């Protein structure tokens, strides 16, 4: 503790009344005093302990009494002296600890003591080590943070001192990986500082192994060849309809991939007009990617050939590996791939899409709407939902990648590519676990400074604290750790599949807001109230409209319309009222984002609203004003077409809901705040 500067109760050894006095002066009262003698084990039995000593005079008396008692107890005992120790207590009890998470490694925990942490699980986690701001965010990040800030008239505690202890604990467990669990419980937090009164350390006697990692450069090289291949081979290509090897060939062809396409099939000479080769090694020229459509049992042999041919990535579509219990076969394939210098995507996947290259290396149908979001999924089913949602909403996509069993290539490889890919402005990932949480967080932390990363973490409610001996360990339910660590990495977590898809569709279309002032302009008072609810839910700040701006808005709306925020222009208004108020909202630099509530009326029909809104927003963009604008459309079915039209003009619009457009804006804000852009 001393080495890491973690305050513990002050103490010292006194061998005289004078030394007692000088220790008490140094430590302050109250103190506890204890006999120190190699011959006296049971100090209390020997009358060798006095607690609650409140003054120098009492301390001198206690010293005499303890020495006398000790001598009485055992006249022959060697008496080293009397330990004088600070008695800590008071203030607020907190717990600071660390646990070794199976995914992330060392994570630090912080919570208030007692019922709050035990019954209400009010605890927060971060990946170690921590910088000071991260440590501070823990102190302020528990639900009951107010207690430390001086709730109920109490004196605020020294939160910097707590942040310091947290940071030091993080450093300590990082330096000593063999510490598997670590508890400071309680730590007494007062206005003057923090003091750890008890400590418990558990060591892991097993070997600590770090997963294999590739350098960023190596990853980029492989990913570049995978996403922008000059040529691809289809191992198991087939001319027969309904075969996976046929679907993949068709999709490459129909998708419009311009590079070389080489069907590999020993029984064919030509497939879909492409010359077929018996083995990948027979293909003339280089091959970047080999797409495997053969059954699992034929994969191993072909991997060696891929290695010989210098293939960079083998895309393993077949199932029949670890997911069906065939762990051994998967391990063999992974070992062979490693030996031959081939990286693996999959197995057990639908393949992948990269629209900038018209590359549809998948057995699903082609997808060609280019745009800024890259999506990945661990599960094939979720991948299909991504594809269907993309198609029905015409979502602009750069990539869709199946990760399946993640035997090799995983989320941080892809993030490393998307980080520098100028075709990708946002990444959305469905995942059930992370092979190497630490590498993911490292990459995500870098990436989220530039582009939003959305994660749908499945299995989030399948908690259950793991069996653990320490307090912190028992509190570290998987999901809470995931939640906090992903947030620490700047990742936006989507609460559900639909949310992930909504965020993925909307985020790349939306500029980054320049400030926190959100304004609602609505034609329906009822929508205004629900939109306000949604803003609070999404962590958005409704701007406090200054009087001059209020006056300006009021120029355009009926006298009984509500100014303030939401600005209720009332329901019967013509297009010009929407137009004037939206323009004002865009042009006033104090406003940073707009939420529009449209109400279907005969006076302003849905498409009229959509067209005027897109026009006004585009005019502002032409003048260099680009603010996030989202819209909720309440009306008859024509509002669906109007919402689509708005989306085409980069305005996030949803019919029949006040929550969804606001949630997407909220996600953009969460990202911008985490990236330090606000």
Rule CB under 8 A: which of 255-284 touch a second copy? none
Closer by beta carbon to a second copy, 12 or else 347? 347
Where does this chain touch a second copy (CB under 8 A) — which range of 61-69, 170-178, 437-445, 517-525? 517-525
Residue with tokens 């018996």: 278
Task: Decide: 590 and 546 in contact? Cβ < 8 Å.
Answer: yes
Q: Does 525 bind a second copy (CB under 8 A)?
A: yes
Beta bridge partners of 125: 109
DSSP tag of 565: S
Closer by beta carbon to a second copy, 114 or else 278? 114
With CB under 8 A as the contact rule, the residue among 11, 61, 178, 323 that binds a second copy is 323
CB of 579 vs a second copy, minimal distance in Å? 19
DSSP tag of 342: -
Q: Does 555 bind a second copy (CB under 8 A)?
A: no
Round to whole Å and give the CA distance between 386 and 244. 20
Round to whole Å and give the CA distance between 360 and 354. 7
Q: Does 537 bind a second copy (CB under 8 A)?
A: yes
Collapsing DSSP to helix, strand or coil, 100 comes out as: strand
Tokens at 657, concatenated: 């809901």
Give residues with Cβ within 8 angstroms of 325, minimum separation 6. Answer: none
Round to whole Å and give the CA distance between 551 and 13. 74
CB of 531 vs a second copy, minimal distance in Å? 10
Tokens at 196, concatenated: 């750890």
Give residues with Cβ within 8 angstroms of 112, minimum separation 6. Answer: 92, 93, 94, 95, 122, 142, 144, 147, 148
Collapsing DSSP to helix, strand or coil, 296 comes out as: helix
Q: Does 530 bind a second copy (CB under 8 A)?
A: yes
For residue 394, give the nearest of 476, 501, 306, 486 by alpha carbon: 501
Task: Decide: 462 and 480 in contact? Cβ < 8 Å.
Answer: no
Q: Does 310 bind a second copy (CB under 8 A)?
A: no
Site for a second copy in 182-211 (CB under 8 A): none
Q: Does 558 bind a second copy (CB under 8 A)?
A: yes
Closer by beta carbon to a second copy, 357 or else 379? 379
CB of 55 vs a second copy, minimal distance in Å? 25
Strands 313-316 and 343-345 turn out to be parallel
Phi-psi group of 236: left, alpha or beta (phi > 0 → left; psi -120 to 50 → alpha; rest → beta): left
Give residues with Cβ within 8 angstroms of 602, minimum separation 6. Answer: none
Site for a second copy in 381-410 (CB under 8 A): 381-382, 384-385, 387-389, 391-392
**x-or-dash pattern for a second copy, window 572-611, by CB under 8 A?**
x------------------------x-xx-x---------
Site for a second copy in 346-385 (CB under 8 A): 364-365, 377-382, 384-385
Where does this chain touch a second copy (CB under 8 A) — which range of 229-237, 458-466, 484-492, 576-584? 458-466
With CB under 8 A as the contact rule, the residue among 636, 648, 676, 677 that binds a second copy is 636
CB of 152 vs a second copy, minimal distance in Å? 6
Q: Does 658 bind a second copy (CB under 8 A)?
A: yes
CB of 675 vs a second copy, minimal distance in Å? 26
Q: Does 501 bind a second copy (CB under 8 A)?
A: yes
Round to whole Å and give the CA distance between 332 and 335. 5
Site for a second copy in 75-104 (CB under 8 A): none
With CB under 8 A as the contact rule, the residue among 100, 238, 319, 355 that binds a second copy is 319
Site for a second copy in 105-144 (CB under 8 A): 115-116, 118-120, 122, 143-144
Residues in the chain: 678
Give residues with Cβ within 8 angstroms of 104, minimum separation 6. Answer: 127, 434, 437, 438, 441, 481, 485
Closer by beta carbon to a second copy, 50 or else 116? 116
Site for a second copy in 405-434 (CB under 8 A): 430, 432
Where does this chain touch a second copy (CB under 8 A) — which range of 189-197, 274-282, 480-488, 649-657? 649-657
CB of 218 vs a second copy, minimal distance in Å? 29
**Counting beta carbons within 10 angstroms of the beta carbon of residue 647, is it exposed (0 to 12), middle (13 to 18) or buried (19 or more)?**
buried
CB of 408 vs a second copy, minimal distance in Å? 19
Q: Does 655 bind a second copy (CB under 8 A)?
A: yes
């Amino acid at each position: 503790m001393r080495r890491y500067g973690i305050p513990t109760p002050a103490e010292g050894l006194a061998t005289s009344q004078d030394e007692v006095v000088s220790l008490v002066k140094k430590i302050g009262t109250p103190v506890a005093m204890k006999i120190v003698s190699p011959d006296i084990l049971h100090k209390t039995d020997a009358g060798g302990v006095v607690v609650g000593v409140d003054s120098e005079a009492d301390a001198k008396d206690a010293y005499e009494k303890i020495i006398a008692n000790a001598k009485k107890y055992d006249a022959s005992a060697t008496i080293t002296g009397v330990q004088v120790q600070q008695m800590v207590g008071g203030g607020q009890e907190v717990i600071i600890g660390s646990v070794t998470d199976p995914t992330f490694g060392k994570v630090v925990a912080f919570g208030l003591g007692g019922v709050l942490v035990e019954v209400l699980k009010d605890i927060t986690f971060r990946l170690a080590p921590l910088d000071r701001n991260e440590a501070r965010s823990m102190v302020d990040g528990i639900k009951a943070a107010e207690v430390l800030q001086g709730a109920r008239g109490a004196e605020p505690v020294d939160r910097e001192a707590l942040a310091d202890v947290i940071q030091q604990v993080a450093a300590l467990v990082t330096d000593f990986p063999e510490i598997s669990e670590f508890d400071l419980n309680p730590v007494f937090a007062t206005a003057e500082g923090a003091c750890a009164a008890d400590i418990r350390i558990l060591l892991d006697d097993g070997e600590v192994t770090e997963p294999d990692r590739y350098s960023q450069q190596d990853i980029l090289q492989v990913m570049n060849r995978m996403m922008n291949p000059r040529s691809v081979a289809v191992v198991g290509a087939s001319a027969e309809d309904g075969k996976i090897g046929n679907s993949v060939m068709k999709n490459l062809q129909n998708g419009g991939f311009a590079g070389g396409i080489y069907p590999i099939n020993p029984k064919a000479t030509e497939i879909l007009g492409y010359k077929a080769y018996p083995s990948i090694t027979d293909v003339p020229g280089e091959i970047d990617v080999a797409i495997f459509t053969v059954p699992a049992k034929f994969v191993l042999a072909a991997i060696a050939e891929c290695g010989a041919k210098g293939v960079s990535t083998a895309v393993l579509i077949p199932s029949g590996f670890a997911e069906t219990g065939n762990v051994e076969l998967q391990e063999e394939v992974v070992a062979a791939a490693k030996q031959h210098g081939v990286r693996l995507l999959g197995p057990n996947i639908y393949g992948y899409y990269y629209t900038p290259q018209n590359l549809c290396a998948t057995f699903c149908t082609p997808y060609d709407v280019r745009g800024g979001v890259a999506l990945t999924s661990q599960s094939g089913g979720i991948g299909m939902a991504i594809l269907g949602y993309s198609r029905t909403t015409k979502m602009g996509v750069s990539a869709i990648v199946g990760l399946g069993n993640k035997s090799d290539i995983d989320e941080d490889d892809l993030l490393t590519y998307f980080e520098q890919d100028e075709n990708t402005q946002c990444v959305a990932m469905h995942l059930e676990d992370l092979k190497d949480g630490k590498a993911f967080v490292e990459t995500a932390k870098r990436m989220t400074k530039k582009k939003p990363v959305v994660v749908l973490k499945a299995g989030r409610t399948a908690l259950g604290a793991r069996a653990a001996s320490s307090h912190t360990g028992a509190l570290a339910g998987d999901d809470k750790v995931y939640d906090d660590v992903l947030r620490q990495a700047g990742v936006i977590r989507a609460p559900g599949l639909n949310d992930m898809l909504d965020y993925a569709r909307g985020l790349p279309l939306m500029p980054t807001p320049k400030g926190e002032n959100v304004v609602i302009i609505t034609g329906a008072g009822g929508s205004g109230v629900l939109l306000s609810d949604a803003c609070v839910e999404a962590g958005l700040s409704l701007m406090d409209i200054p009087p001059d701006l209020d006056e300006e808005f009021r120029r355009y709306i009926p006298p009984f319309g509500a100014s303030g925020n939401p600005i209720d222009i009332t329901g019967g208004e013509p297009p010009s009222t929407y137009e004037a108020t939206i323009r004002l909202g865009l042009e006033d630099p104090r406003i940073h984002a707009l939420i529009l509530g449209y109400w279907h009326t005969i006076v302003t029909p849905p498409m009229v609203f959509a067209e005027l809104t897109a026009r006004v927003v585009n005019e502002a963009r032409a003048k260099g004003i680009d603010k996030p604008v989202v819209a909720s459309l309440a009306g008859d079915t024509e509002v669906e077409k109007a919402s689509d039209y708005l989306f085409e003009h980069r305005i996030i619009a949803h019919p029949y809901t006040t929550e969804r457009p606001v949630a997407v804006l909220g996600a953009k804000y969460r990202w911008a705040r985490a990236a330090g852009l606000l």
